[in-house]
Amino acid sequence: MKDVTKENLEGIGCDEEQEKTNSRPLQTDWSSLNTMGLPGVVDASYRDPPSDQKLRLRSNCPLVETSNSIWNFQENEWRLTFVDGEETSLLYSKHEKIALQDFDGEVRPAIDVEQFLDQDCVLLLDEDVAVSQNYSSPAELVDLLLGRMGLSATVAEEAKTILFTNDSVPTLRRTIQAIYSSKDKSKGEFEYDESWVCTVADVPSLMKRHTAIIRLKQPTNMGDTCHDVQLFVLILCPVKEKSTKNGLETGRTFATLLADANIRRQLLEVTTDKEFKRLMLNRTQELIDEQRQSRAAVPIKLDSDVQSKTKSVETKKNIWKFGQFGQGIREDLCRRLPHYISDYVDGVVGQKTPQKVLSTTFFLYFACLLPAIAFGVLNDHNTHGKIGVKKVIMGQTIGGLFFAIFGGQPLLILLTTAPLALYIKVISSICDDFQLDFFAMYGCVGLWCAFFLLIFSLFNVSRLMHWCTRSTEEIFGLFISVAFCVDACRDTAKNFQKNFYSSQCQGENAITNITNSLSSSLTFYSWNDTRANDSAEAIADPNEEPMGVECNQASSVLFLLLMLGTVWLGVSIFNFKKTPFLSAGKREILADYALPIAVVTMSFVGSFFFREVKAEPFRYDDSENVFTVTPLERLPGLAIAGAMGLGFALSLLILMDQNISSAMVNTPLNNLKKGPAYHWDLFVMAILTAALSAVGLPWMHALVPHSPLHARALADVEERVHQGHVYQIIVRVRETRLTVLFSHILIGLSIMLLPYPLAYIPPAVLNGLFLYVAVTGLGGNQMFERISLFFTEQSAYPPNHYIRRVPQRKIHQFTGCQLAQLMLMCLFGFVPWPYMKMIFPVILLSLLPIRHLIVPRVVEDRFLKALDSSEH
């Protein structure tokens, strides 16, 4: 209607008596209509409202076609004004339903209310004699409250510009109101609770939070959806505030309090601020109690971590009943066998599945082959060539294929590991000390181990994992990452020791100094003598030891360069999906191939660009026998008994590592559908260990972080943004056996690539791969997240479940406990005495009682539930 101003109409003879110069009231006199939610109660008069009549009336008039609006460009935006000075602007409105505050579960709401009560910010206008004025607009109320808060003029002014949409449009920018909706949701009927409104603002220059409530004398019309406001809540927050303390969260707390009509009625009745505050406090306590009772009545998921993890029907009471012989295996088979066909089919069908399977196959190929080579080199050194690279690769192939076909949880990745290499080393040195046959002793230990594993699996010892919570898994995960880093550092140090600080280098340096001083004096008479010697002879001079400890500083520096280069390149490509470059699809493919690309690129750099630097390829004996049947008969009886001890320790290690890896794969966050198979997997491991031991191949067990990374590589991940923080949620994991199968076939074929081109992969790149795995394996590790919170500023704390539910001090205390446990593990894990390292499985096992007996004395049980929940 803005186009037809009075002047215009007069000018063309269309004057309308009933139109006032101020056209605004026209709209209000027929706005007495239902809100949209009530189609049933439609006012009959509204189908022909006055303005509609006018519109039709006007359209019959010969109107001037020229526009009487004026565009003008001010302050970097267009303004559209009319001849009468009115301005049109656009208002963009957004309505979100927000959840009611969780007073019982979260820690902030109660504190928020208490802090509010400490402030003197309740205004009962009907009681306050000093304020006799009638307040009818939010602007007036806000002015009044800002005055009471004692803010400086500039801050108050800033708060006002933020509270209201615009100078010319003084609506409240952000409000929270209650909505009533009928239980029959299909009707979609709803209604605003117009009796109160809460408005929030985040103000940059504010220093602390302010909350104020005003009670009006009588219901006041404050604009749309606020037609009879009696309670007005104003919340101002600093911008740099913890996200659980920001405007919206605080608003949610007070809105939840006021959402109940009972409390509102009582609040309207009280006569003094004190009563008002007391009521608020009581209501808060009531709410906590009500919610707690409600939560207790219904089985809430919070308590069900353990159950949901194993998806078994056992209750906590009977988990100590290990006795039901073979029951675990039976249950596992019942669970997994029906999925056996789909374990293959799922690797073929589905959107993006072939692509993911391919990239995961290559990931696994490099992630398994390279450690196999690395540990092969290590074992070769420890056993004086008895177990070499070739054997390790063969063992990897056999073990991987065997487990891929018969294993219960095909997402697990088996590898030989550093602790296993340690056992092999200990056995080797025992054999040296007591003049025993290495393979006989090795086989004997392995068979004992297999025997114990069999016992464990048949007597359902894996039920111990009921006590293994997320916290233990995370400590273990972090320990493994640390261990990989320590391994890489140790290898680097070893290389530097050998090539950089070799006696030859020291000597050369010293000698060069002498040379410099001597050469001038010596040259003149020694020149001809030395010249006379054959040059080949001079070089073959034994002092130079060309084949022994050579001074090859370049090799060490290159080692460092390649190692750091590999991890940097890998991690950069892995994180490339966070950039806006290329398309989403291409970024994902690139990230999937991060490891292979990094390894191949840096191997090329190392072996081609720096081919001049003398690098040492790994020791490889082509004549080596791959299978060595264990000559058990050569072992004396005492050795067999000793082997039993070693075998038991070894079986404990495999039990723990296998089960923790399995638990980390089966975490509810991975959203797996086919269920775990702890007992059956252990049974398969027993058979595999026996077989490997019998032919002298290295042992293996499921590994962290390879197994969780495998699950992640096969996953479809969705990013969800919540309050500015990005969360990754695994939607679906392709639970297939094909990736392990394919990659291990490739690994088996790789034996033909020995020694070249596999030897072109420099050892530095192997170590870079360890670091890469250590870094990427930390993704989703909440313990690591919480450690980084120590250094993070408060306002950047993510508003996740534990930040909401647990006081900050308790969070840090819990992280501290975990760090202490990690330290304990590191102490026993990296101690330089091999025999002390062997009790490591026991330490690992002791984490369970520590978590359940000691930690609860520091952090209360209800907080532990939030911190140590595997649901988030």
Site for a copy of itself in 94-133 (CB under 8 A): 94-102
52 binds a copy of itself (CB under 8 A): yes
- Pick out residues in 250-279 that bind a copy of itself (CB under 8 A): 251-252, 255-256, 259-262, 265, 268-269
Q: Would you say 324 or 497 has its CB closer to a copy of itself?
A: 497
Radius of gyration of the chain (CA): 37
Task: Determine if 281 is a binding residue for a copy of itself (CB under 8 A).
Answer: no
Alpha-carbon distance 457 to 88, whole Å? Answer: 76
797-820 as b/e: b if 16+ CB within 10 A: bbbbbbbbbbeeebbebbbebbbe
Binders of a copy of itself: how many residues, by CB under 8 A?
178
Q: Give yes or no for a contact between 462 and 679, defined as CB atoms under 8 angstroms apart.
A: yes
- Using CB under 8 A, pick the residue from 115, 119, 225, 846 that binds a copy of itself: 225
473 alpha-carbon distance from chain centroid: 14
* Token pair belonging to 856: 């609860």
111/514 with CB nearer a copy of itself: 514
Pick from 761, 764, 301: nearest CA to 489: 764
Pick the closer one to a copy of itself by CB: 166 or 304: 166
Residue of 518, 717, 753, 836 that binds a copy of itself (CB under 8 A): 518
- Near a copy of itself by CB under 8 A: residue from 415, 420, 468, 558: 558
60 is a site residue for a copy of itself (CB under 8 A): no
**12, 57, 70, 349: which one contacts a copy of itself (CB under 8 A)?**
70
Nearer to a copy of itself, 176 or 688 (CB): 176
Please choose, out of 60-68, 365-373, 617-625, 857-865, the segment that lies near a copy of itself by the rule CB under 8 A: 60-68
Nearer to a copy of itself, 99 or 313 (CB): 99
Q: What is the DSSP string of 487-498?
A: HHHHHHHHHIII
Which of 7, 87 has the CB closer to a copy of itself? 87
Question: 193 near 179, Cβ under 8 Å?
Answer: yes
Selected from 178, 414, 686, 688, the binder of a copy of itself by CB under 8 A is 178
Task: Please state the closest distance from residue 102 (CB atom) to a copy of itself, in A.
Answer: 6
Q: Which stretch binds a copy of itself (CB under 8 A): 481-489, 579-587, 658-666, 813-821?
A: 579-587
Among 223, 636, 849, 856, interactor with a copy of itself by CB under 8 A: 223
Helix (H) or strand (E) holding 800: none
Nearer to a copy of itself, 140 or 860 (CB): 140
* 628-657 binders of a copy of itself (CB under 8 A): none
Kindly tell me the sign of the dihedral angle through the C-alpha atoms of 844, 849, 852, 855. Answer: negative
Task: List Cβ neighbours of 558 (8 Å cut-off, separation of 6 or more).
Answer: 606, 610, 613, 615, 762, 764
Minimum Å gap between C-beta 356 and a copy of itself is: 20
Q: Considering the rule CB under 8 A, would residue 342 count as an interface residue with a copy of itself?
A: no
Contacts (Cβ under 8 Å, ≥6 apart) of 740: 364, 400, 401, 403, 404, 410, 413, 710
510 binds a copy of itself (CB under 8 A): no
CA–CA gap between residue 813 and residue 598 (Å, rounded)? 39
Amino acid letter, residue 114: E
State which H helix or E strand residue 429 sits in: helix 418-434
Contact 349, 493 (CB under 8 A): no
By three-state DSSP, how is residue 611 classified?
Answer: coil
**Cβ 672 to a copy of itself shortest distance, Å:** 20
* Candidates 466-474, 523-531, 652-660, 818-826; binding stretch for a copy of itself (CB under 8 A): 523-531
List the one residue from 54, 110, 190, 326 that touches a copy of itself (CB under 8 A). Answer: 190
Question: Hey, what amino acid is at 260?
Answer: D
Length of the chain: 872
The piece of 41-49, 392-400, 646-654, 693-701 that touches a copy of itself (CB under 8 A) is 41-49
Beta bridge partners of 715: 733
Closest distance of CB 197 from a copy of itself, Å: 10
Which residues in the 748-807 window bind a copy of itself by CB under 8 A?
Answer: 788, 791-793, 796
Q: How far is it, in rounded angstroms, from Cα 640 to Cα 646?
A: 10
Mapped to the 3 state alphabet, what secondary structure does 328-382 carry?
A: HHHHHHHHHHHHHHHHHHCCCCCCCHHHHHHHHHHHHHHHHHHHHHHHHHHHHHH
- Residue 91 makes contact with a copy of itself by CB under 8 A: yes
